């Protein structure tokens, strides 16, 4: 496989190897920091919102140390794999390494590569933040996703306007999306197409991906009782309206 199509990430986490292993090897653990996951007959299924789901196969597994997932491809051959490696450190932390291999190809594979890189940076930041601020708490996920034909810059400007604030990294912020309670907290992720807020009870992420004509929100509520189905439906309507303009 072409080495240019191999993406690697590494993060040191304030958690034990067992805690990190559960976070990357079980559906419940993956849901804590990634997107909602469920068992799917020998594999897993990830829900990215808006009816966009992805099945994954467990290709290799070394309990406590290593797991490899694959996305099903033609004739059952996975064209893409994601490998997680867990390594404990003497200081009580754990290093998690991620290697994604085999992008789907095509003329725009570099944009796909960059998009996956940004996505993993956000999700690994979630995992780090979970262990620092919400360790041990269960999660309720809300995800919403839509494709859009609008230019990314226009969607982003509209998103910021509808959230009622354009904060910088580290700012305390109060977002006021119509139809929802305010989102109050600290901006812990920020670039020109991503806004992330850590609240008292979890994370709210808003992202526009111009290369793939997508807009989405991923939200995590830790240790609190929320109506996940109702919130998901409401945020999906909000994202659909944003995508349509």
What's the pLDDT tens digit per position in 222-242? 999 999 999 999 999 999 999
Is 203 or 38 the better-scoring residue by pLDDT?
203
pLDDT over 60 (residue 105) = no
pLDDT at res. 106? 59
CA distances from residue 193 to 21, 106, 208 in whole angstroms, order as listed: 31, 24, 5
Average pLDDT over residues 136-151: 97
Q: How many Cβ atoms are within 10 Å of 156's Cβ, its own excluded?
A: 21
Band (207; pLDDT cuts 50, 70, 90) = very high
Report strand pairing: 139-147 vs 37-39.
unpaired
DSSP 8-state class, residue 193? T
Q: How many Cβ atoms are within 10 Å of 25's Cβ, its own excluded?
A: 20
Domain final residue, candidates 136, 156, 190: 136
Bridge partners of residue 173, in order along the sequence: 185
pTM for the whole structure: 0.92
Average pLDDT over residues 28-36: 95
Tell me: do 202 and 114 sit in the same domain. no
Domain final residue, candidates 136, 168, 187: 136
pLDDT at res. 175? 99
Band (139; pLDDT cuts 50, 70, 90) = very high
Tell me: do 18 and 126 sit in the same domain. yes
Phi, psi angles (nearest 5°) of residue 206: -130, 125
Q: Kindly report the CATH number assigned to the domain that includes residue 123.
A: 3.30.530.20
With contact defined as beta carbons under 8 Å apart, do 186 and 172 qualify? yes
Tell me: do 143 and 132 sit in the same domain. no
With contact defined as beta carbons under 8 Å apart, do 27 and 44 qualify? yes
Is 123 or 76 the better-scoring residue by pLDDT?
123
Q: Residues 36-57: pLDDT tens digits?
A: 898 877 778 888 999 888 888 8
Domain final residue, candidates 104, 121, 136: 136
DSSP 8-state class, residue 245? -
| Token pair recorded at residue 17 | 């190897």
Q: Residues 156-184: pLDDT tens digits?
A: 999 999 999 999 999 999 999 999 999 99
> Is residue 224 helix, strand or coil?
coil
pLDDT at res. 76? 59
Tell me: do 99 and 190 sit in the same domain. no
Structural domain count of the chain = 2
pLDDT over 60 (residue 4) = no
pLDDT over 70 (residue 103) = no
Residues with Cβ within 8 Å of residue 40, at least 6 apart in sequence: 55, 56
C-alpha span between 157 and 231 (Å, rounded):
24
Average pLDDT over residues 70-79: 68
Report strand pairing: 202-209 vs 214-222.
antiparallel
pLDDT at res. 1? 40
pLDDT over 80 (residue 73) = no
Tell me: do 73 and 17 sit in the same domain. yes
Band (107; pLDDT cuts 50, 70, 90) = low
Element spanning 233, H or E: helix 228-244
Using alpha carbons, select from 146, 164, 149 the residue that is nearest to residue 207: 146
- Domain boundaries, position 99: 1-136
Mean pLDDT computed over every residue of the chain: 92
C-alpha span between 47 and 164 (Å, rounded):
28
């Amino acid at each position: 496989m072409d080495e240019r199509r191999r993406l690697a990430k590494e993060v040191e986490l304030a958690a034990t190897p067992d805690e990190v292993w559960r976070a990357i090897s079980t559906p419940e653990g993956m849901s804590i920091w990634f997107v909602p996951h469920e068992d799917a007959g020998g594999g897993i299924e990830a829900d990215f919102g808006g009816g966009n789901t992805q099945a994954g196969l467990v290709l290799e597994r070394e309990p406590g140390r290593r797991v490899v997932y694959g996305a099903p491809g033609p004739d059952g051959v996975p064209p893409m794999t994601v490998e997680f490696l867990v390594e404990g450190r003497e200081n009580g932390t754990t290093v998690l390494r991620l290697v994604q291999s085999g992008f789907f190809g095509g003329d725009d594979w570099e944009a796909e590569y960059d998009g996956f890189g940004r996505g993993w940076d956000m999700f690994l930041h979630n995992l780090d933040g979970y262990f620092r601020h919400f360790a041990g708490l269960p999660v309720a996920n809300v995800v919403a996703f839509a494709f859009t034909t609008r230019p990314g810059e226009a969607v982003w400007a509209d998103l910021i306007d509808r959230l009622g604030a354009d904060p910088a990294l580290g700012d305390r912020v109060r977002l006021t999306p119509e139809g929802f309670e305010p989102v109050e907290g600290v901006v812990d992720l920020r670039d020109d197409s991503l806004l992330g807020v850590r609240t008292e009870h979890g994370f709210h992420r808003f992202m526009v991906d111009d290369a793939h004509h997508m807009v989405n929100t991923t939200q995590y509520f830790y240790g609190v009782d929320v109506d996940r189905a109702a919130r998901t439906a409401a945020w999906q309507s909000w994202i659909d309206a944003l995508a349509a303009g």
